[in-house]
Every structure is written in C-alpha cells, then in structure tokens.
C-alpha cells in the first residue's frame, strides 16, 4: 500500500508520528512549516527524525511533487493532525498547497482520504466543514481516543487513535484491545 501522510499545524503531532511508525508499505510525508514548529513544542522528536520515517518527503510548497497529480498512483491519504484551516480549504475545494492539492486528488480520484481534526470545541463552521467533507467521501476521524481499553498511559491513548486510522486503511494491528475482547 502507498500512503500519503500529511502533518499540518495543529496540536496532536504525536498522532501523525505514531502513524508513520506503524504504517506499513510506502509512505510519502508532507509536513507543513507550522507543523515543524509545533513538533518541537509538543514532542522530543526532531523534524529530521520524523522525516526519516517516510520513504519520500515533500514540502507544502512543492506543487509539482508527484502526489499533486491524479496520474501518480497512491492508495490513500491521512491528514493527521489536520488543522481546521486545512480542513476548511479542502471542504471548499481550495488546493493552494501540497496538502490541500493531494487531498483534492484523493477526492477527485475517489481514493481514501482520512482527516484527523484535533480541535475542541468546534464551531458550527468547523462542524459544517467536516460534514461537507464526510458527505463528499472523506472519513472524518476526530482525535478522540476511546477509554474502553482502559488506557493507563498517554501512549496507549495515542495508540488507540492510530489503531483506528490503521483500521480505516485496512492494516491489521494490535495497538489496542477491541470491544468485547
């Protein structure tokens, strides 16, 4: 499987990092400049360490990158975390950087697009943008971990959410105990 992972400027960068660590197959990474600053504020990882988790890395301004074209084959895209600005642009059809352009490619080519917003509370505008994307075929997977596996650490909370993303991509994992297990 070939997956594009975009990490945008929202809190919750660790979710995107853990996804890159667990995701199988070929991985292309787009990391925004704002995400790089948040990464330094929220984690012990360096930008270089995160970029090493991907097979290819693109800057948000690289609109001539392969993932910007519908003729370039990839299976899915996960935007994690997804800033509300990025979500709004995608919902409105604005493709002004590589993240939003690759998402537009997913939508037009009917490829799987998983969007992981990490904002709370959400305004009515944010909710409408999420609804619009969902109605258009994207999967909205809010960064809301479950508590039925009885997590004891922050890592277990993160793993739950990453496991839910992997479920959407059809990748088997054992990152959390499933309901009824």
CATH number at residue 87: 3.40.50.1950
Provide the domain limits for residue 145: 2-169
Q: Where are the alpha helices (DSSP H) in 43-139?
A: 47-51, 84-91, 98-109, 124-135
Q: Is 170 exposed, middle or buried (0-12, 13-18, 19+ CB in 10 A)?
A: exposed
- b/e map of 118-153 (b: 16 or more CB within 10 Å)? bbeeeeeebeebbebbeeeebbbbbbebbeebebee
181 within domain boundaries: no
178 within domain boundaries: no
Nearest to 103 by CA among 132, 128, 127: 132
When divided into structural domains, the chain yields a total of 1
Nearest to 85 by CA among 169, 173, 8: 8
Measure the CA–CA gap between 103 and 86, rounded to whole angstroms. Answer: 10
Inter-residue contact 86 to 129 (CB < 8 Å):
no
177 within domain boundaries: no
180 within domain boundaries: no
**Ramachandran bin of 25, using left for φ above 0, alpha for ψ from -120 to 50, beta for the remaining angles:** left
Instruction: Give the H/E segment covering residue 38.
Output: helix 33-42
Measure the CA–CA gap between 77 and 5, rounded to whole angstroms. Answer: 6
Inter-residue contact 111 to 105 (CB < 8 Å):
yes
114 within domain boundaries: yes
The distance between the two most distant Cα atoms of the chain, rounded to a whole number of Å, is 47
40 within domain boundaries: yes
Could you tell me the pTM of the whole model?
0.96
121 within domain boundaries: yes
* Tens-digit pLDDT string for the chain (181 aa): 999 999 999 999 999 999 999 999 999 999 999 999 999 999 999 999 999 999 999 999 999 999 999 999 999 999 999 999 999 999 999 999 999 999 999 999 999 999 999 999 999 999 999 999 999 999 999 999 999 999 999 999 999 999 999 999 999 999 998 988 7
122 within domain boundaries: yes
């Amino acid at each position: 499987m070939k997956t594009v992972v975009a990490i945008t400027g929202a809190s919750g960068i660790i979710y995107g990092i853990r996804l890159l660590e667990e995701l199988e197959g070929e991985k292309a990474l787009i990391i925004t400049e704002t995400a790089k600053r948040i990464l330094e504020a929220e984690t012990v990882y360096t930008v270089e360490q995160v970029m090493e988790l991907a097979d290819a890395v693109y800057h948000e301004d690289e609109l001539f990158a392969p993932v910007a074209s519908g003729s370039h084959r990839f299976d899915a895209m996960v935007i994690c975390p997804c800033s509300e600005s990025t979500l709004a642009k995608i919902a409105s059809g604005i493709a002004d950087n590589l993240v939003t352009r690759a998402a537009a490619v997913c939508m037009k080519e009917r490829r799987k697009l998983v969007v992981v917003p990490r904002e709370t509370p959400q305004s009515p505008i944010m909710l409408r943008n999420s609804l619009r994307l969902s109605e258009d075929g994207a999967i909205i997977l809010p960064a809301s971990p479950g508590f039925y596996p009885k997590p004891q650490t922050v890592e277990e909370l993160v793993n739950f959410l990453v496991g839910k993303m992997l479920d959407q991509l059809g990748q088997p994992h054992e990152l959390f105990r499933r309901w009824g297990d």
